[in-house]
Amino acid sequence: MKHFISADQFNRENLDELFDLTQDIVANPSKYSKSLEGKIVSVMFFEPSTRTRLSFESAILRLGGKLIATENAKTASSASKGESLTDTIRILQGYSDAIVMRHFDVDSSKVAASVANVPIINAGAGSGEHPTQALLDMYTIRESKGHFDGLKVAILGDLKYGRAIPSLLKLLSIYDNITIYALSKEAFSLPEEYIELMNKRNMKYVKCNSFSDIPKDVDVLYHTRIQRERFEGDFGKEEFIINEEVLNNFSENTILLHPLPRTEEISSDVDNNKRALFFKQAVNGMYVRMAILAKLLGKM
Ligand code: ASP
Ligand code: CP
């Protein structure tokens, strides 16, 4: 795998391999502390980020690599003077061995990969995909459930503009007998293209109108933030808020995930609940990103 731009690049085998490597990195970090020795990675974020950018930066440093970065490439790089993305990539590949990029255009990582001679890693592309997010989501699910076949997953929040959900659906579609329950305000319903994708890939899709339409023994509740930066107008606040009372209506084995940042959709009274795994998820992200970098660039 040269570039890493879509969750569709994964199958059961390479996903298992990546997660086994992640587990080994967690257990034996010193074994990997020189994996990226001599390598420089560009970190170019054209959109805001806390977790993805800093966990990638930490991952690079923990693997013994170095990085060059712009905190806000939209205004602080020469993109603000009108330089094209392809020209930017042609320059960065002369300075570094891989490029981790977040960009507001859905096609940005494909466009970057079309001219790049070093690996491009998609760290979020408009409302298209966020594949490394989906990998850390799946890793967190594997840690707590131990399997993927037969899972029942409820997706909530902004199913229209969010990019974490499309990548997650693609990874889940690798497995058998997956059921997706979708609960959102009408304005943020899942686009038809993802309903078709689930049909084609033999996933069961159930549109829900309230929490009570989601079965009590659902394996995963995956909530997301309304992506206000991606649309004009005001569709109001999130209607389906998960608090302790709502969470307690589900089985003890139901886990609660969220890509973060959260806003109003999950209240802080669930933070210490053992089923609320979103902070763990964010830490897992660093280890999964270490595994991705080690695979793409590392001495292994
Ligand atoms: N951080 C995730 C993303 O960049 C989710 C979000 O921002 O709501 O897609
Ligand atoms: N989950 C996620 O991508 O977070 P950031 O936007 O803070 O990177």
Closest CA to 196 of 185, 209, 180: 180
Cis, peptide link before residue 48, omega less than 30° from 0: no
Mean pLDDT of 173-195: 98
Q: How confident is the model at residue 300 (pLDDT cuts 50, 70, 90)?
A: low
CATH class of 7-129+283-297: alpha beta
* CB 126 less than 6 A from any atom of ligand 1: no
CATH code that applies to domain 131-282: 3.40.50.1370
Spacing, Cα 260 to ligand 2 middle (Å): 6
Q: What is the pTM of this model?
A: 0.97
Closest CA to 205 of 182, 222, 188, 227: 182
CA distance 181 to 147: 19
Query: Which residues are 153's β-sheet partners?
Result: 180, 220
Q: What is the 3-state secondary structure (H, E, C) of the chain?
A: CCCECCHHHCCHHHHHHHHHHHHHHHHCHHHHCCCCCCCEEEEEECCCCCHHHHHHHHHHHHCCCEEEEECCHHHHCHHHHCCCHHHHHHHHHHHCCEEEEEECCCCHHHHHHHHCCCCEEEEEECCCECHHHHHHHHHHHHHHHCCCCCCEEEEECCCCCCCHHHHHHHHHCCCCCCEEEEECCHHHCCCHHHHHHHHHCCCEEEEECCHHHCCCCCCEEECCCCCHHHCCCCCCCCCCCECHHHHHCCCCCCEEECCCCCCCCECHHHCCCCCECHHHHHHHHHHHHHHHHHHHHCCC
- Find how far residue 159's CA is from the centre of its chain: 14
Tell me which of 51, 258, 266, 281 to substitute to probe ligand 2's pocket, judged by most ligand atoms within 8 Å of the beta carbon: 51
Is 131-282 the same fold as 7-129+283-297?
yes
Radius of gyration of the chain (CA): 19
CA distance 250 to 219: 9
> What pLDDT, in 10s, does the model give residues 88-134?
999 999 999 999 999 999 999 999 999 999 999 999 999 999 999 99
Q: For residue 299, is it left (φ>0), alpha (ψ between -120 and 50) or beta?
A: beta
- The domain locations on the chain are 7-129+283-297, 131-282
CA distance 291 to 300: 11
Spacing, Cα 300 to ligand 1 middle (Å): 31
Tell me which of 260, 263, 278 to substitute to probe ligand 2's pocket, judged by most ligand atoms within 8 Å of the beta carbon: 260
**Average confidence score pLDDT of the chain:** 97
**Of ligand 2's atoms, which has the minimum distance to the CA of residue 282?**
1
Closest CA to 109 of 98, 93, 121, 96: 121
Mean pLDDT of 36-42: 98
Residue percentage of the chain with pLDDT more than 90: 96
Query: Which residues are 69's β-sheet partners?
Result: 43
CA distance 283 to 285: 5
Spacing, Cα 10 to ligand 2 middle (Å): 21
Would the pLDDT of 275 be above 80? Answer: yes
> What pLDDT, in 10s, does the model give residues 60-83?
999 999 999 987 999 989 999 999
Would the pLDDT of 1 be above 70? Answer: no
Would the pLDDT of 9 be above 90? Answer: yes
Strands 40-45 and 66-70: parallel
CA distance 18 to 289: 10
- For position 298, what pLDDT does the model report? 86
> What pLDDT, in 10s, does the model give residues 285-298?
999 999 999 999 98
